Structure 1
Amino acid sequence: MRGRFDGVETPKQTAKVCLIVDDSRVIRKVSSKIARSLGYVPIEAENGEEALARCKKSMPAVVLTDWNMPEMDGIEFVRQLRAIPTPKEPIVMFCTSNGEAKDIHEGIGAGADDYIIKPFDETALRAKLEKFHRG
């Protein structure tokens, strides 16, 4: 029931938050720009611990996460994220250079909904986010 309260659409809830988790500032900024252009409200975290804290305060609609990060890697972050009770689970997508089949299976197995391999281009990320935005 994303964006609804007592069956009535509320303007404040129509903006979908996209949490971008990556230790690379450049990746976060590029991803934020793309998310913003699609109507998402991007927020950023540079590691899994920071991202988990943000999700516990307010669950985003979409999470883009790197795999290899300091403090807490993406796999552990996604596992812990999926353990948080929430009325509406976020869509989670790995954005990582770990692109072998076993990596993709592990990422999906941890609870991710989708996967994009770095380096990705703006068109590929835009297409994935558009698919989520329509959902």
Structure 2
Amino acid sequence: MSQYILIADDDPLLRAILEHKLEAAGYAVKSVEDGQAALEAAAEDVPAIVVLDAMMPVMDGFEALRRFKQDPRFADVAIIMLTALKREADIVSALKLGAADYVAKPFNPDELVARLDRLMTGLRGGSA
């Protein structure tokens, strides 16, 4: 498994901001515009973490999350939902489907980086 972060969001400005912020924090990053593209990118090179928007064209984040969690190749991939959906039912649904975390938009990029740092540390077995 690679130690890169895959971002799937249909907003090109948000993708650019996240890429910049995460690369500045020392992460390798790849970004795509929808859930189907995220699954295809992950099949080529399995990421450590996937950041998924919920509302995207082609395949939404909930369906992508479902497919990631059903595929044994992605069993160790942590998935964070990053979405404007703030209803309790959406949050609970994502967590039940296997999301490691759920961050509502608008969000603080520094908080997202801190959450990613925590997940990445856990994936590395506690070493920094």
TM over 0.5: yes
* Structure 2 Cα separation of the partners of residues 20 and 44 of structure 1: 4
TM-score by length of 1: 0.84
Contact persistence 1:56–1:84 (CA under 8 A): no
Q: Deviations over 1:88-115 (max 9, x none)?
A: 5211000001111111001111221101
Residue 37 of structure 1: CA displacement? 2.2
Partner of 1:79: 66
Structure 1, 65-74 or 100-109: larger mean CA deviation: 100-109
Does 2:83 align with 1:96? yes
Equivalent in 15, 25, 32 of residue 28 of structure 1: 15
* Structure 1 Cα separation of the partners of residues 88 and 74 of structure 2: 31
Letter in 1 for 2:68: L
* Structure 1 Cα separation of the partners of residues 78 and 27 of structure 2: 13
Equivalent in 62, 75, 97 of residue 110 of structure 1: 97
Partner of 1:59: 46
Residue 132 of structure 1: CA displacement? 1.7
Structure 1, 35-44 or 79-88: larger mean CA deviation: 79-88
Given the superposition, is the C-alpha separation of residues 56 and 70 from structure 1 closer, same or farther in structure 2, using an over 3 Å criterion? same
* Structure 1 Cα separation of the partners of residues 90 and 75 of structure 2: 26
Percent identity of equivalent pairs: 30
Contact persistence 2:52–2:79 (CA under 8 A): yes
* Residue aligned with 1:19, SS: strand
Letter in 2 for 1:65: L
List structure 1 segments (4+ residues) > 3 angstroms apart after TM superposition. Answer: none
Letter in 1 for 2:85: N
> Considering only aligned residues, what root-mean-square deviation do their CA atoms show, in Å?
1.5
Find the structure with the greater CA-based Rg.
Answer: 1
TM-score by length of 2: 0.88
Given the superposition, is the C-alpha separation of residues 47 and 87 from structure 1 closer, same or farther in structure 2, using an over 3 Å criterion? closer
* Residue aligned with 1:130, SS: helix
